[in-house]
Amino acid sequence: MIIAIDGPAASGKGTIAKKIASIYRLHHLDTGLIYRAVAKAMLDAGHSPDNGKEALAAAIALDPANFDEAALKAPAVSEAASVVAANPDVRQALMNYQRAFATKPPGAVLDGRDIGTVIAPDADVKLFVVATPEVRAARRVMELRARGEDTDEHEVLADLLRRDERDSRRTAAPLKPAPDAHLLDTTHLSIDAAFRAAVDIIEGVRTGRKRR
Ligand code: C5P
């Protein structure tokens, strides 16, 4: 079984994806980490994230076995990740890894922006997870403060809106729901309630019921 979970930053898709993978005993890939790793390699080497030639070289050289998740999640990397992710050559270079991951037995949950549309268009279940920008910003602030990072809520909101805009407007695999994706709005849901709603959708599809 392949489950595609897309949506904007801090919509809850990552947390839902992890929990779903764990209960269905599937592999899990947070595909944002891949773009973040390319971006971090660029920043570490002193390249601008919009240097297409270097970004492609960094994407080709990527080693997902050596990801330092905490370093990749740093806010400074987020913005650069959305710049490198708009580069079609970078996306193409990262496609095979993601597709191979998706088809590893017994199946996988992948979360990102283009899983249901580009990486796994034949996924068994597709979720598109959303929440209002304000709620997403509040969640991201809590997450960052829990990690001891001093953050300004207005800045976090501005960063999310900027990334939403860039991710949705790019021509290469923009952030958008697949036509057959099930929309899940987590604005007013706790983590547990969002997870249960996701399971309901998956079980609905598995038992042949259509819910949207
Ligand atoms: O999900 P996360 O916020 O970690 O993703 C960082 C950036 O990577 C996003 O803003 C987006 O530009 C890019 N991304 C993407 N396609 C994916 C996953 C992430 O373009 N499948």
Query: What is the full DSSP assignment across the chain?
Result: -EEEEE-STTSSHHHHHHHHHHHHT-EEEETHHHHHHHHHHHHHTT--TT-HHHHHHHHHT--GGG--HHHHTSHHHHHHHHHHTT-HHHHHHHHHHHHHHHTSTT-EEEEESSIIIII-TT-SEEEEEE--HHHHHHHHHHHHHHTT----HHHHHHHHHHHHHHHHH-SSS-S---TTPEEEE-TT--HHHHHHHHHHHHHHHHTT----
For atom 20 of ligand 1, the residue with the nearest CA is: 85
Per-residue confidence (pLDDT) for residue 210, from 0 to 100: 53
| Blockwise average pLDDT, block size 10, the chain, 212 residues | 97 97 98 98 97 98 90 91 97 97 97 98 98 96 89 94 95 96 98 98 86 49
Per-residue confidence (pLDDT) for residue 150, from 0 to 100: 85
For atom 12 of ligand 1, the residue with the nearest CA is: 82
pTM exceeds cut of 0.75: yes
Q: Measured in angstroms, how far is the CA atom of residue 12 from the centroid of ligand 1?
A: 14
CATH number (3.40.50.300, 3.40.30.10, 3.60.15.10, 1.10.3720.10) of 2-211 reads: 3.40.50.300
Q: Measured in angstroms, how far is the CA atom of residue 163 from the centroid of ligand 1?
A: 9
For atom 9 of ligand 1, the residue with the nearest CA is: 82
Residue 12, ligand 1, Cβ within 6 A: no
Per-residue confidence (pLDDT) for residue 1, from 0 to 100: 95
Residue 114, ligand 1, Cβ within 6 A: yes
Residue 34, ligand 1, Cβ within 6 A: no
